[in-house]
Amino acid sequence: MKKWNTINKSTRNNIITIGVIVVIYAVCQLMIAAGAMSNLMQGLLVPLCYYSILAISLNLTVGILGELSLGHAGFMCVGAFAGAFFSKSTQNGIGSSFVGFLIALLLGAIAAALFGALIGVVVLRLRGDYLAIVTLAFGEIIKNVINVLYIGLDGKGFHFSMKDSEALNLEENGTIIINGAKGITGTPKHTTFTIAALLLIAAYLIISNLIHSRSGRAIQAIRDNRIAAESVGIDITGFKLLAFTLSAAMAGVAGVLYSHNISTLVATPKNFGYNMSIMILVFVVLGGIGNIRGSIIAAVILTLLPEYLRFLQDYRMLIYAIVLIVIMIFNWNPTCIAWRKNHSLRDILHSLTGKNKKEA
Amino acid sequence: MKKLKKVVSLLVVTSMAVASLAACGTKASSGGDKFFIGGIGPVTGGAAIYGQSVKNAAELAVQEINDAGGINGVKIEFAFEDDEADGEKAVNAYNTLKDKGMKILMGTVTSGACASVIDKTKSDNMFQLTPSASSKDVLALGNVFQVCFSDPNQGIASADYIGSKGVASKVAVIYDSSDIYSSGIYEKFKAEAAGQNFEIVAAEAFTADSKTDFSVQLQKAKDAGAELVFLPIYYNEAALILTQAAALDYKPIFFGCDGLDGILTVENFDTTLAEGVMLLTPFAADATDEKTAAFVKAYKEKYSDTPNQFAADAYDAIYIIKAAIEKSGAKPSMSVSELGDALRGAMTQITVDGLTGAGMTWSETGEVNKAPRAVVIKDGSYVSAE
């Protein structure tokens, strides 16, 4: 007990969060093995992980760096296509193996980070809401570019076109890898719950360690008071760029998980559009801006909710919206916060164990 | 004390998690005395109208069959889940239906979502018949059958029709490059047009993000002197194109595929603009044959709406499944995989007369063989173009 108290607070928090993830992971695996888990839930395990990664990576930009990004789905899209492109074009070789998947993950992260850095290097020098505007545009542009992008592979190597698949002039045995609006089909299904859960833990560790590092303190100083941070010699653009690029890279990893989870990858307004970016932002806002653990919880709840509301049939999305509003009020309304304080789980536990609050 | 608190809270969290996961646990019945057919399609979002039509018509067909005593005396149970026309959601819908005990899949409605589900049905060896997913990608794994024409066939048939009937010599195409259906038809149309006696003078694309203003595309078609504009798109955009073409005083022949069916039902659309529009569609609600008339009447009575081609496809799909079950002698007690094998074997042997074609047969690859029909809009209704 004493030892536990001597560990510093952030480490304790990390251990608790990771512990909970590991326990949930183990319970899920046990239930799958016992055949006690529904097909729907089994299918949702991987999406839950990559949505959580998306949520915590956006929280790095929005909560820790304090900049608004409205194009997070764009980075996910870049990562998804980069990873799937690699796996598909090497599917007869390394792409079909586990090592190939690791390379795909790495490539997805690098590609997304590259675009993040490209945008950040220009926009993060400015003050104000420019990042929101530019990322919004980026998300839309990348989706449209991919929809007209045709890449084929044959004996002579890669062929590119932005017109149609005929213009690729492929040899007879050539394969089209990215087929414009039809995207990439037949990506190997490499993503497993284990890998997704491991990557979620890794993403969580990276972000929480960053926050409590020297760089993290610098980033938060920029968020809290830019002028003060500048006056003590913090490299504003550099640290902003670091956080933003890291956030983009993680979104790229989530994208690779996404593209290797379902066999077709198409860039539609539904999966990589503006609405998706807002959805991720909603995870962050409802989970608490700057609260990494909260982001994961919000992502999990809000991904499960529409699926478990299916019994409402046509009213599903209507009720979903109402539930969002209710959660928002419950989380942030001062009266609700006061009520929660008076009726917290902790107090109930204490009253059960016969201890009063003050002793705790 | 703190330790106890942590332990207790952890236990509470874990037990809550387990309870929530198991609450929805596997209710899948292993035997069952009904054929459980599941349907997947968008009933919310931008493509909702297609999913809703499929859902309505399938429920109508199921009700008819059940009222008539079922298939070999066995009733059908039908459930429909929403996929918002998205691949990821379609997989979720599929899993939900599996939990409910689905053994035969009638879906999905849209091509993109369907392509995500095919490898799930492949690994479960579940029988899948899609009413309206027309992309070639849907057939990639060889385990899916289609009720509608595949996109390439529609493109080829359209080019053939325009060429062989000498409808026009200069053709412009306006298509949605971000849509699988539209770009799939366009590609084959273009390839087939090379051997025909007409010329494509303009091929203009738009995307899902910019589908409200078509004046640029129309102006280009007009400047190129196109006598016919080929529209391999859905009717909502086509209605806008017709309206905007009229504003430009541009009056070519408009020619479309099955997606154009329903254009007369668009709200606030001046249907006189659609006069003379030609389309290749397997179904026209105004057809006078007994089958179609009965279907349209029943559909109108139940849903007070005119059925479109998606509804007809779904209605046929249920009857095709019925025919396949009868042919194979499948029993509801069979497992998903056994049913899959039995029905797939029967599919290539049956011939079905449906709303969307007489004497429909299926090849090993899952493509349907039926004759395309061209109709032209005259006095606000579809009449045969012959």
Give this prediction's pTM. Answer: 0.86
Q: How many CB atoms lie within 10 A of CB A198?
A: 14
Give the mean pLDDT of B354-377: 86
B172 confidence band (pLDDT: 50, 70, 90): very high
Smallest CA–CA distance, residue B263 to chain A, in Å, is 24
Q: Report percent pLDDT > 90 for chain B.
A: 40
Instruction: In whole angstroms, give the CA distance from residue A78 to residue A294.
Output: 26
Residue (of B203, B178, B135) closest to A146 by Cα position? B178
Alpha helices (H) in A35-65, listed in sequence order: 39-59
Smallest CA–CA distance, residue A181 to chain B, in Å, is 5
User: Looking at chain B, how many residues does it have?
Assistant: 386
Low-confidence ranges of chain A (pLDDT < 70): 1-2, 354-360
In order of A7, A58, A135, B3, B330, the CA distances from A2 in angstroms are 9, 36, 48, 10, 68
The two structure tokens encoding residue A280: 């991720």
Secondary structure (3-state) at A65: coil
The two structure tokens encoding residue A216: 């993290």
Closest residue, chain B, to A35 (C-alpha)? B26
Q: Please give the domain boundaries of chain B with CATH numbers for all domains.
A: 34-149+290-369 (3.40.50.2300), 152-281 (3.40.50.2300)
Q: Are B331 and B339 a contacting pair, CB within 8 Å?
A: no
For chain A, what are the domain ranges? 2-308, 316-360
Q: Are B287 and B295 a contacting pair, CB within 8 Å?
A: no
Determine the residue among B178, B179, B188 to mutate to test chain A binding: the one whose Cβ has the most chain A Cβ atoms within 10 Å: B178
Residues 300-319 of A with CB under 8 A from B: 307-308, 310, 314, 316-317
pLDDT (tens digit per residue) in B332-358: 888 999 999 999 999 999 999 988 888
B27 confidence band (pLDDT: 50, 70, 90): very low
pLDDT (tens digit per residue) in B199-219: 999 998 888 778 889 999 999
Identify the pLDDT of residue B375: 82
Cross-chain CB nearest to A264 (options B82, B94, B112): B112
Alpha helices (H) in A189-235, listed in sequence order: 193-211, 214-224, 226-231
Determine, for residues A36 and B191 on separate chains, whether the beta-carbon distance falls below 8 Å.
Answer: no
Architecture label for domain A2-308: Orthogonal Bundle (1.10)
Secondary structure (3-state) at A359: helix
In order of A211, B60, B297, B314, B317, the CA distances from B311 in angstroms are 55, 10, 13, 5, 10
Instruction: In whole angstroms, give the CA distance from residue B22 to residue A31.
Output: 8
Which residues in chain A are contacts of B177 at CB distance < 8 A? 147-148, 180-181
pLDDT (tens digit per residue) in A54-93: 999 999 999 999 999 999 999 999 999 999 999 998 888 8
Residue (of B155, B167, B247) closest to B193 by Cα position? B155
Which run of H or of E encompasses A180?
none
Model ipTM value: 0.86
The two structure tokens encoding residue A314: 């046509």
Asked if B30 has any chain A CB less than 8 Å from its own CB, the reply is no
Count how many pairs of residues, chain A against chain B, have C-beta atoms within 8 Å. Answer: 152
